[in-house]
Chain A
């Protein structure tokens, strides 16, 4: 597909520790097309943030990419030198993190930070870069940008700061944006504003977005496709309507039932017993097997590969016609 912006194949990320090698990401594959928002959900420890960090080449030692490929518009970026990767980051891949205050330097005016980013990645003059920074601030909905551009980060409210960070991520017109929990630190009314903004910018500019979050509600509203991660693996990936309304993987089903919604009438929430295994103790076979209500012999021995089921891909032996219990 020529429209594919990001293609991740069989990604493996490991952390070398004194107690041995921990596999944080194990065989993760997905694509993101132009103008598409891929939501990556999972509970803490599922490996969703590590996946995002791997794509932008920000995995710090002792962690490293131990296998697989990451391609940006067909070009491999997982084996670039740090210097080359630095040029890809910011220029071709923008980043938005959870806490906007840590992404902004408190000692520099907001405008200086945006101008610096623009001038690092393009050959605009200082004056043109400033005009462009004002345009960006206007675009992300900051009122009176001509005046606000000279403010310091602490003079902005939480929601406005996250808008500045989005402007910063867009500064070099990247093809891909990695947004890691961009709305988690914000209040709901502001969260709604930021989601709407992200969706609009992605549509208008055709930017591909990888939206990493634990909030299924945010995913349901913003994403086109969803990948549900569990223990460093993709349990199910597919269009948002299918995964949210009719999930196939037992974990995805449990997860959707566990979330209280504004419309459900259920007296009890679906309960998945136990918790996600630690990286030191991932069970053999399917990582979900000790918690799975549909577990059978094969699940404990053999790891399921993602296979197409309806419109999604599901890594579960239940959907494999060769499986005994399918």
Chain B
């Protein structure tokens, strides 16, 4: 175990059964079908850093996030947070204590709140559930403190979720996440539903809170510019596999995997006014029937026979035969 690692994810796998119902299978003689949403993903997150997973839709990044927080049991592999296994039954008691310190922030804050509860009750729920503070007055005070922390007013505790704008609701969601003295926050596209000016407010808030409270983040996003702004280290996912992992400077400054390069080149950016370009052709293949070997090979300009046959291993942060063999210029 590497020193300073707070979250360790090893060879994480998740297979979903997407077969037709039993009767259809019998009548149509159709075999079972499975979808490998996550296929052998491993990474570590150090305490106090922001690790970001980027990828296009269907790359498995949200599935990884859900397995890390324990919302979804992995098919194989292991997640360890603060040296406690999230799967080992012998560590169940320790895991229960740890759970309070892991919280998730979702894309749509409205969907993750009970519309009939006042915001004060929503934020107080983890405090009551984990029995962190006794006494109504003390809980109320803590809720007010949390609201102030995320830039709202303590009086907002009396309002209902629908009385807030999208950005304010996301602030409430962050306050609720922090209510249980969380130290590890997993954000699954936390700003994707927000307008840019509001997104800037939330991203700034998340960074301020990280500095003040020493939080560790796992940040999931499809938006590379947002990831570049937030992350310390980045993992790029494609069809359930990590294709490249590295610190921010490497991923954005010297990307090595052809997919990372393509992705960076494809992002429309303010700096590229009127840019003419030749975009990479093709789309993400159907994950039920992925290409053999390296899953990126049908879209890759450097693919050869080995790429079509053999799955590349993550070596020194890149899973690519062309990089490994030195066929790709830096």
Mark A residues whose CB is within 8 Å of B.
Answer: 43-44, 157-160, 187-193, 195-196, 199, 214-218, 220-222, 224, 240-241, 244-245, 254-264, 268-273, 275-276
Contacts and interface: CB of A to CB of B under 8 A. Distances in A.
Contacts of B276: 196, 199
Contact of B268 (A44, A217, A272): A217
B204 A192 contact: no
Contacts of A160: 283
Interface in B256-272: 262-272
14 contacts: A187-B222, A192-B265, A192-B266, A217-B225, A241-B273, A260-B200, A260-B228, A261-B225, A262-B264, A262-B271, A264-B229, A272-B197, A272-B201, A275-B195
B322 interface: no
Contacts of B273: 220-221, 240-241, 244-245
B89 to A, nearest CB: 39
Contacts of A259: 196, 200, 225, 270
B207 interface: yes
B35 interface: no
A216 B283 contact: no
B56 A260 contact: no
Interface of B: 56-57, 165, 167-168, 195-201, 203-204, 207, 222-226, 228-229, 252, 262-284
Nearest to A241: B273
B221 to A, nearest CB: 10
A189 B56 contact: yes
A221 B262 contact: no
Contacts of B252: 262
A1 B264 CA distance: 40
Nearest to B226: A260
B75 to A, nearest CB: 25
Contacts of A188: 56, 222, 224, 263, 266-268
Nearest to B195: A43
A187 B196 contact: no
A160 B56 CA distance: 16
Given A193-B281, A196-B277, A262-B228, A271 B201 contact: yes
A192 B279 contact: yes
Contacts of A257: 200
Contacts of A276: 195
Given A157-B283, A218-B268, A254-B197, 11 more contacts: A187-B56, A188-B56, A216-B270, A217-B272, A220-B268, A256-B270, A259-B196, A259-B270, A261-B269, A269-B229, A275-B165
A161 B169 CA distance: 34
B224 A269 contact: no
Contacts of B204: 268-269, 271
A272 B263 CA distance: 29
A189 B284 CA distance: 9
B278 to A, nearest CB: 8
Given A195-B268, A260-B225, A272 B200 contact: yes
Contact of A221 (B228, B264, B272): B272
A217 B272 CA distance: 8
B200 A271 contact: yes
B283 A159 contact: yes
B269 A158 contact: no
A271 B224 CA distance: 20
